[in-house]
Amino acid sequence: MKTELFANMTRREFDASIEYINAGEFFYSRNQIIFSAGDVIDKIGLVTGGKVIIESNDLFGNNIVLGLAKEGELFGEVYAILGEPLLVDVRAKQDCIVLFLKVNNLPASRSWSLKLTDNLLRIMARKNLYLSQRSFINANRTIRKKVMSYLNYISLTEGSKSFEIPFDRQQMADYLNIDRSALSKELSDMKKEGIIYFRKNHFTINTDEVIV
């Protein structure tokens, strides 16, 4: 498994860091809750197999998908470091394995600790950029503009006009803060107009036909 958290470490540094911060590895079945809103946590999760969903579920039944953590990626790091109650739920998107890590009070004099801290800061900065991008996408006023802005974002990050998106239709609708049926209709219209082609989660953008 590759993860940015241990980037640039020697094998000895990796072994020393894991021995110090390892808080146990656990299996979760599909849709099982890992963390709930309101929990106060002192460890972060590293997905070592499968995927987890980070989402917001309010008292009025509204659900918003905030992100997806796949193998090698972290979740809960900001809450674990700050000790603040979670504002989100984390659940298994599919059967998954999570390695929990304690990253508070790391020894300042160890080379692996300095590298781990630097890697963690980079991961958190990238997630902040991701959330900013999502705000930019959802600032669009029409469903079509939201969809095109999202697909453009994925296209840029993948470096191709043909790509896979990480969400199913309901999760995509939640991510864009729109109704699923309205999303499905817009996608169907855009496909008929030749703007996009898609099969399940695989999309291709036809830039010659894009009119938003």
- Return the SS3 of 170: helix
Contacts of 96 (CB under 8 A, 6+ apart): 27, 28, 47, 49, 50, 51, 52
pLDDT tens readout for residues 67-109: 889 999 999 999 999 999 999 999 999 999 999 999 998 998 8
The predicted model gives 6-29 an average pLDDT of 96
Amino acid letter, residue 191: K
- The predicted pLDDT at position 109 comes to 86
Q: Side-chain half-sphere of 1: how many Cα atoms within 13 Å?
A: 16
Classify burial at 208, counting beta carbons within 10 Å of its beta carbon; exposed 0-12, middle 13-18, buried 19 or more: exposed
- Under the banding of pLDDT at 50, 70 and 90, the label for residue 65 is confident
Q: Which of 199, 211, 203 is nearest to 144 (CA)?
A: 211
Confidence of residue 114 (pLDDT cuts 50, 70, 90): very high
**SS3 for 113?**
helix
For residues 176 and 138, the answer to whether their CB atoms sit within 8 Å is yes
- pLDDT of 117 strictly over 90: yes
List the domains of the chain with CATH numbers: 4-135 (2.60.120.10), 140-209 (1.10.10.10)
Q: Could you give the angle at the alpha carbon of 179 between the alpha carbons of 177 and 180, nearest 5°?
A: 110
pLDDT at 212 over 50: no
In the chain, what are the helix, strand and coil shares in percent, each to the nearest 5?
40, 25, 35
Residue whose structure tokens are 């996009």 = 196
Neighbours of 189 (CB within 10 A): 13
Give the pLDDT confidence score for residue 175 in this predicted structure.
86
Share of the chain above pLDDT 90, in %: 77
Which residue shows structure tokens 């972060």? 44
Average pLDDT, the chain: 92
pLDDT in tens, 161-211: 999 998 899 889 988 989 999 999 999 999 999 999 999 999 999 876 554
